Amino acid sequence: MKKITVENYTQDKYYDKVVRAMAVVLDKQGYVSPIDVMVQMQKLTPKQVEDWRFARIAYLERVTAGGLGAVNRILRLMGFHAHDLNLIPSQTAYRKWGKGKKITLRFSKSGEPKLEAAWSRHYVCPKRTRQLKQKSSTDNVSDEASVATSQ
């Protein structure tokens, strides 16, 4: 497939893998990020992401498995699928973890703005986020109640 478009993206060879990975990540945390999807698809490891977050790796693209073409396809497929799911795009700033100056982390060698934006774009599901917040607050209330009754 030459170029991924709205008309043909569901026929792409990565489409099913991207959909499955997005579903797992979305169910777990209520939003989807390219990094989480790449980890779920085993294109990145959590250790590689951590090394990048601490600026031990200059740019994330360097350690991403599958090559730049595959990564770009996956990012594009994520955008189309997120649109189909009515997820809300949200840009996220990635800054260096740890000591020292909090520099903005790079995703790509080129630093091309559109590519950097695609990598840093999270897709939020308002409904799922509300459910997770309610579950969390319900868990906290029941934890507080059990602590109060045990004292």
Short-list 87, 78, 90, CA closest to 127: 87
Report the chain's C-alpha Rg in angstroms: 18
More confident residue, 41 or 1: 41
Query: Percent of the chain scored above 70 by pLDDT?
Result: 88
Q: Which domain holds residue 93?
A: 9-140
| pLDDT of 94 strictly over 90 | yes
User: Do the domain assignments include residue 145?
Assistant: no
User: Do the domain assignments include residue 148?
Assistant: no
Q: How far from the centroid of its chain's Cα atoms is residue 9's Cα?
A: 19
User: Do the domain assignments include residue 116?
Assistant: yes
CB 12, CB 1: distance < 8 Å: yes
SS3 of residue 32 by DSSP: strand
The pLDDT, as a whole number, for residue 147 is 44
Q: How far from the centroid of its chain's Cα atoms is residue 77's Cα?
A: 13
Question: Which band of pLDDT confidence, cut at 50, 70 and 90, is reported for residue 109?
Answer: very high
The pLDDT, as a whole number, for residue 54 is 96
Per-chain mean pLDDT for the chain: 87
Number of domains in the chain: 1
The pLDDT, as a whole number, for residue 97 is 93
- Distances from the Cα of 91 to the Cαs of 31, 43, 114, 117, 123, in angstroms? 12, 22, 12, 7, 9
User: Do the domain assignments include residue 4?
Assistant: no
- Which of the 8 DSSP states describes residue 11? G
CB 74, CB 60: distance < 8 Å: no
Give me the mean pLDDT over the 6-25 stretch: 90
Give me the mean pLDDT over the 50-57 stretch: 96
The predicted model scores a pTM of 0.81
Question: Which band of pLDDT confidence, cut at 50, 70 and 90, is reported for residue 132?
Answer: low
- Distances from the Cα of 97 to the Cαs of 13, 47, 91, 107, 116, in angstroms? 35, 14, 18, 15, 18
The pLDDT, as a whole number, for residue 149 is 44
